[in-house]
Structure 1
Amino acid sequence: MDNITLSAAVRQNLLTLQSTADLMSGVQNRLATGLKVNSALDNPNSFFTASGLSDRASDLTNLLDDMGQALQTIKAADKGITTITDLVETAKAKANQALQTQSQYERAKFATQYNDLLEQIEDLAKDSSYKGKNLLGGDGNDLTAIFNEDNTSKLTVNAVDYTDTTLSTGLNLSDLAEAKGGAASFQLEGGLGSVTLTDANSDALGSGSLLTDYTGITQGDVITLRTAASGAGSALVTLTVGANTTVQDLVTLVDGVAGVRAEFDETSGALKITSNDDVFLYNADNDNGGTAVPTDLASVTSANFTASTQLLTGSASFKAGDILTLEDGNGYELGSYEITAESTVSDLVDFIDDFNGVSASFSTSTGKITIESDTDLSLTSDNTNDFNASAFVADSDGVTIAAQQDSGFATDTEINAVIDRLNTALSNLRSQASEFGTNLSTVEIRQDFTKQLINTLQEGAGLLTLADTNQEGANLLALQTRQQLASTSLSFASQADQTVLSLF
């Protein structure tokens, strides 16, 4: 190359072409990259300033992703607390339903449903997590949302614990006691005995007749109702026959014994004695020179009933027209049954067994009706205090079952206390939901701000480094024109050098 000699004109045009090519290369590079500063060599100040802005934008972009995840965690907790609020309101509705009925059985069912709802609340709280973070899960679940690159701007969302409804720092709602039933049984047995009271002419005595008109009784006789024959056993009642003692006095005396019923037939003079247990109407006759001649006037031998036995047959516990009422411990009447001449043991068992939470069975071998109830229960009779009288020790008007445990909704006071706790829980839930809502709005606002700030930083970096494509396009067009003109000028210069060839 050193041996080649170019004219000054050609060399000048060649340098112009080379300079234009360099300029075109720079323009084409800026158009291709879109940047007017591609490295520190282009503009050190703009390059490093733009790099700092871009790095911060990149850091904030990473934080933006974390903010998005924090936002989802709060949303999960917010959805959970909203649903828990619905469940607590449903539990309150159950309590109000229980308050509207006096039935212990229905209240016990509502108490069980209430406990099921509390279990669902705990399960839902446990399920309200997002990527392992649960703001309803208590300790260890606090959430921190970071808003700037040096961690000086952040928001801490404190977790609450609803996974255990009994916590005083949470919902403070405890499971209710669930009813545990009880059982009782009563004996169905009895027998019938009678004595016909007639005078010396064999005419039937009336209820107003003197007892001494009966051929077997004289003034001074001592008549007793005993638990064993021939004067043995205990004396249940005693009547000393006086000059004015009537048949009705004897009937009234015997009929007043618990578990014993006395009925007198004015037409036939028959004194019928119905008893749940063995009894004997005994007369200590003081005739024959003061020597007592004991006489069993009437005897009753009891026997166990069968399922088909009519209740009025041989039992003093029932009379036609008696109303048996089944009530729970709150006095809520489950139903009533009227005793008729056709009523059997089986009919009574079916009546008791017909109600929810109550079951009844009859044992032929023992003669007992056994009643099982989920709640407190009583079976009472309206017209007699001899119902379920046992062994002549006391009068009784019914059978009572005491449940092993009443439900937590057994009384109005207990239900109202639960409603008060539910109202407090709802207030706390709504307050916590409001707090989560505030946190959610804060993170969303900071997220939007961060997006705008990232855009500002990237825009600022672009102002320092981005090329103006319109200007660069115009520059390229001008350089192309210059290149063409330089090429034409170089051609002219070369032609001038070639004129010497015309001499040859």
Structure 2
Amino acid sequence: MSPRRGQDGFDARRHHPRRVSIMATVSLTSGVRAALGSLSSIKDAASTSQFRLSTGKKVNSAVDDPVNFFTAAGLNDRASQLTKNLDGISNGIQTITAASQGIDSITKLVSSLQSTIKQAQADNAANRPTKAGTALATAAETALNSKSLKDTVLDKALADDNGATANTATASYAGNLGIDTSTNTNVAVTISAGNTKYTAALKTGATVRDLVNEINKSGIATASVDDAGKLNVTGSGSNTLKVGLGSGTTAAAAATDSESGTLNTALGLIAGDYTTGITATGNSTVRSNLINQFNDLTAQIDQLAKDAGFNGKNLLTGDKLSIVFNEKTGTQQSKLDVQGQTITAANLGIGQAVSGTATTGQFNIQDDTSLSTMADTLTGALTSLRSTSSSLGASLSTVQTRQDFTKNLANTLNAGADNLVQADTNQEAANLLALQTRQQLSQTALSLSNQADQAILRLF
């Protein structure tokens, strides 16, 4: 059948074709559709497992699980802030440790100062106040009684038993020093040095030997009669020594009179020696040589304390250390304030050693009382240092405990957050393996479904 043409033979359909749109709808069998749906769901599940394995989390955004996601974020944030506090806690521990080590070293220096003081106290021969009286017996007396000058003097009585004139010793008579006790029947001796005083009443008929024994009993001074027959008195310490002999109608009056030394001339001593006192005439060379050693150790205390700081904080120069333990602020903030102390030799009461008159902040190393006072001061300084060391130790223990707690708490918070969002890699890996197996089975099912449709083509 030929196409229609116009009179001129023109084919209108050829030159003016119409566009025809044909939409074909493909119909899948139920088996193929089920296989495709299974493959699609398996692919999505496998993709999810792969993503969880790659990130290690089962909750990666608020879409996955908003409650667990934001809870874990809060826990991690707090753990992060606590971890940042650990740096400050660590610095605090080092600061306290540096101060504690400084205290230990200063304690050793103070112990060395104690040794220096003991060495100075051991040398005391050159700076003791000493007084030697005039001879109380003569060679003529010894010729009569066949005794030494020393024994002749020791056996003499203090008081004159028949007047107020000294009687010489003879072969049958010990002699006396001529002290009149006809009215003032009581005789007393007083010895003092520094703040220590000793007074003793002498019995009737007391001898020079009795007087020497009483002086020695005082502990303040020692007395003896030398081979020249002179009474020698030496102080037990370096303080000015006062020795006085007096008399009175009563024991109390005699004690009072002895402090003026009215009877000292009878002993060969200067009248009023108790009033003016006896001073040392020389200094100990050993003590003088220890001055530089003592002062050098004292200076080291100040220098060591200044060097006991860490990161700009020094608890031995009075700085205050604040260590923050938690992430909160205001009244909810947990912290420890460690107030330092200014450790210097002056604050410990340790002065500079000098030989001679001491001014403020100094002590006379030649003076026994000053040495004894300094020894007590050093003992007190050690007690103070031990107290400070104990306080620092308690603070250090507290900070170390909080450091361990903060570390453990941060780990606990991180573990809690991980439990909320972390994936079980073993489970996800098993799921992925199972999904891959199901994917292969679904692909096989799809292939079988397609083969069923292709079987129709064999009919043509």
Q: Same fold (TM over 0.5)?
A: yes
How far the C-alpha of 1:5 sits from its partner, in A, is 4.7
Structure 2 partner of 1:150 = 328
Alignment of 1:42 onto 2:223: no
Report the TM-score when normalising by structure 1.
Answer: 0.52
How far the C-alpha of 1:472 sits from its partner, in A, is 1.4
* Residues 85 and 326, structure 2, Cα contact 8 Å, conserved in 1: yes
How far the C-alpha of 1:179 sits from its partner, in A, is 6.4
Q: SS at the partner of 2:337?
A: strand
Structure 2 partner of 1:132 = 312
Alignment of 1:113 onto 2:293: yes
After superposition, the C-alpha distances for 1:38-62 in whole angstroms (9 at most, x for unaligned) are: 1111100000011111111011001
Alignment of 1:72 onto 2:98: no
After superposition, the C-alpha distances for 1:220-245 in whole angstroms (9 at most, x for unaligned) are: xxxxxxxxxxxxxxxxxxxxxxxxxx
How far the C-alpha of 1:10 sits from its partner, in A, is 1.6
- The amino acid across from 2:87 in the alignment is D
* Residues 108 and 179, structure 1, Cα contact 8 Å, conserved in 2: no
Structure 2 partner of 1:418 = 374
Structure 1 partner of 2:445 = 489
Q: Distance in 1 between matches of 2:72 and 2:88?
A: 25
Structure 1 partner of 2:346 = 166
Structure 2, unpaired ranges of 5+: 1-22, 127-283
- The amino acid across from 1:429 in the alignment is L
Percent of residue pairs bearing the same amino acid type: 48
* Residues 106 and 304, structure 2, Cα contact 8 Å, conserved in 1: yes
How far the C-alpha of 1:119 sits from its partner, in A, is 0.7
- The amino acid across from 1:436 in the alignment is L
Change in CA separation of 1:485 and 1:126 when aligned onto 2, cut-off 3 Å:
same
Structure 2 partner of 1:228 = none
Q: Distance in 2 between matches of 1:428 and 1:73?
A: 20
Q: Distance in 1 between matches of 2:426 and 2:25?
A: 45
Q: SS at the partner of 2:353?
A: coil
Q: SS at the partner of 1:134?
A: coil
Structure 2 partner of 1:27 = 49
- The amino acid across from 1:494 in the alignment is N
Structure 1, unpaired ranges of 5+: 181-405
Structure 2 partner of 1:176 = 353
Pick from 433, 441, 450 the counterpart of residue 477 of structure 1. Answer: 433
After superposition, the C-alpha distances for 1:138-174 in whole angstroms (9 at most, x for unaligned) are: 2xx1001111111421111011111x3213xxx1222
Q: SS at the partner of 1:128?
A: coil
* Residues 108 and 407, structure 1, Cα contact 8 Å, conserved in 2: no
* Residues 352 and 363, structure 2, Cα contact 8 Å, conserved in 1: no
How far the C-alpha of 1:115 sits from its partner, in A, is 0.8
Q: Distance in 2 between matches of 1:14 and 1:126?
A: 82
Q: SS at the partner of 1:176?
A: strand
How far the C-alpha of 1:471 sits from its partner, in A, is 1.6
Pick from 32, 39, 45 the counterpart of residue 10 of structure 1. Answer: 32
After superposition, the C-alpha distances for 1:366-399 in whole angstroms (9 at most, x for unaligned) are: xxxxxxxxxxxxxxxxxxxxxxxxxxxxxxxxxx
Q: SS at the partner of 1:145?
A: strand
How far the C-alpha of 1:496 sits from its partner, in A, is 1.2
Alignment of 1:501 onto 2:457: yes
* Residues 123 and 287, structure 2, Cα contact 8 Å, conserved in 1: yes
Q: Distance in 2 between matches of 1:150 and 1:177?
A: 57
Alignment of 1:123 onto 2:79: no
How far the C-alpha of 1:4 sits from its partner, in A, is 5.1
Q: Distance in 2 between matches of 1:76 and 1:116?
A: 23
Alignment of 1:467 onto 2:423: yes
Report the TM-score when normalising by structure 2.
Answer: 0.57
How far the C-alpha of 1:177 sits from its partner, in A, is 2.2
- The amino acid across from 1:113 in the alignment is Q
**RMSD of Structure 2 on Structure 1 (CA):** 1.9
* Residues 356 and 365, structure 2, Cα contact 8 Å, conserved in 1: no
* Residues 31 and 473, structure 1, Cα contact 8 Å, conserved in 2: yes
Q: Distance in 2 between matches of 1:22 and 1:59?
A: 38
Q: Distance in 2 between matches of 1:20 and 1:179?
A: 103
Change in CA separation of 1:461 and 1:2 when aligned onto 2, cut-off 3 Å:
farther
Larger strand share, 1 or 2: 1
Alignment of 1:82 onto 2:82: no
Q: Distance in 1 between matches of 2:80 and 2:410?
A: 8
Structure 2 partner of 1:445 = 401
> Within 5 Å, which residues of 2 pair with 1:234-253?
none
Alignment of 1:96 onto 2:52: no
Larger helix share, 1 or 2: 2
* Residues 111 and 408, structure 1, Cα contact 8 Å, conserved in 2: no
Q: Distance in 2 between matches of 1:2 and 1:92?
A: 113
Change in CA separation of 1:113 and 1:179 when aligned onto 2, cut-off 3 Å:
farther
Q: Distance in 1 between matches of 2:316 and 2:24?
A: 86
> Within 5 Å, which residues of 2 pair with 1:7-406?
7-102=29-124, 104-138=284-318, 141-151=319-329, 152-162=333-343, 164-167=344-347, 171-177=348-354
